[in-house]
Amino acid sequence: MPKKNPNKNNSVTLKEVAAELGVSAMTVSRAVNNSPNVDSKTKKRILEKAKKMGYTPNLVAKSLVSSKTYTVGVVIPEISHSFFPDVVRGIEEVVDSKAYQILLTNTSDNFEKEKKVIEALKAKRVDGMLISSSLMTDNFSYYKELIKSGMPIVFFDRCIENIGASCIKVNDQAASQQITEHLINLGYKKIGYLSGPKKVSIGKARFDGFNIAMIKNGLPVDDKLIIENGYNEKGGYDAMKKLLKLPAKDRPRAVVAVNDPVAFGAMDAIKDANLRIPEDIAIVGFTNDIRANLVTPPLTTVNQPAYELGKKAASKLIDTIQEKGDLVENVELITNLVVRESCGSLLYK
């Protein structure tokens, strides 16, 4: 029968400990908070009694007074998706070391849900938020107001830049250009692109990188070879299916996928069409998902330092909260090209 009043929790308060000892609540407060100016004997008595009674400080009450919750909100499109678990691990590590904890939320890539969870995080008075946004319009008013309200925000991976909040991401555009040029240097000319929604920051940046590489090397960008779809395996599968419906002579000889999950889906589609990778169609991805070196053939891709990105974003947020590194900045972590076998080569043949 641990509960007396079904609507109340039965946790011990400062006042109750104080009453047991015939001292004031204030003295108990001082004792449990290691304040100076407490007689060492009374302090000892208090701490013993508090422990025996199972006293646990009530951070809800504390937060109400201090306006700090030591909690940060983390807003992510898909918790279990590809590189996000590693990002979260990085975030958790940094945040834990500063005595904060994370309220983890999932938006299912849906901006309406995103707004809903952010409102909930606001109501819970988190000290700041780490956000990977699924916003797909260029109407940033919602975030502008959020930032204007004084809420510390750091965007990561899928950023909304230059509206007053810091952004931690990778060099998406340059890396996408690099991996595209890698294909070009291997002799491919007719190259397709499997895109995610381009309104999402990474969608645009990576597509831009692809275009720059093509144009710089004097290759045509053929709209028929560019398919926009979701950021997951199914999105890649369906997009590739579309490309494969083109007459054989119009098909791309190589394909750049916006991320690894899309590449995996596309690889399945290529195999289902009884074509070979890379002999018939070469393919490259972006992420260096845990599966990238296990698929057949192993996927050439861009390694994204997910764990480090999480750490960096969390550090920046905590600095912003504590007004140390208060300045807004855009940080680009550097990726590296990981060449495996899915890109093959047209040279020396």
- Which residues contact DNA by CB under 7 A? 8, 11, 13-15, 22-27, 29-30, 32-33, 36-39, 42-43, 57-58, 61-62, 64-67
Q: Could you say whether residue 139 binds its own copies (CB under 8 A)?
A: no
Which of 264/286 has CB closer to its own copies?
264
Query: Which of the listed partners (its own copies, DNA, none) does 248 bind, with a CB threshold of 5 to 8 Å by partner kind?
Result: none
Query: Does residue 141 belong to the site contacting its own copies (CB under 8 A)?
Result: no
Residue among 34, 37, 40, 67 that touches its own copies (CB under 8 A): 67
Following CA atoms 201, 333, 296, 265 in sequence, which dihedral angle do they give, to the nearest 10 degrees?
A: -10
**219 interface partner picked from DNA, its own copies, none, CB below 5 to 8 A per type:** none
Q: Is 134 in the site for its own copies (CB under 8 A)?
A: no
Please say which residue, 36 or 247, places its beta carbon nearer to DNA.
36
Q: What residues between 238 and 277 interact with its own copies by CB under 8 A?
A: none
63 sits near its own copies (criterion: CB under 8 A): yes
21, 25, 53, 102: which one contacts its own copies (CB under 8 A)? 102
Nearest to DNA of 15, 148 (CB atom): 15
Residue 125 Rama label (left phi>0; alpha psi -120 to 50; beta): left
Query: Least Å distance between CB 219 and its own copies?
Result: 33
Interaction site with its own copies (CB under 8 A): 2-3, 6-11, 54, 56-61, 63-64, 66-67, 69, 71, 74, 78-80, 84-86, 88-89, 92-93, 96, 101-106, 117, 119-125, 145, 148-150, 290-291, 294-296, 323
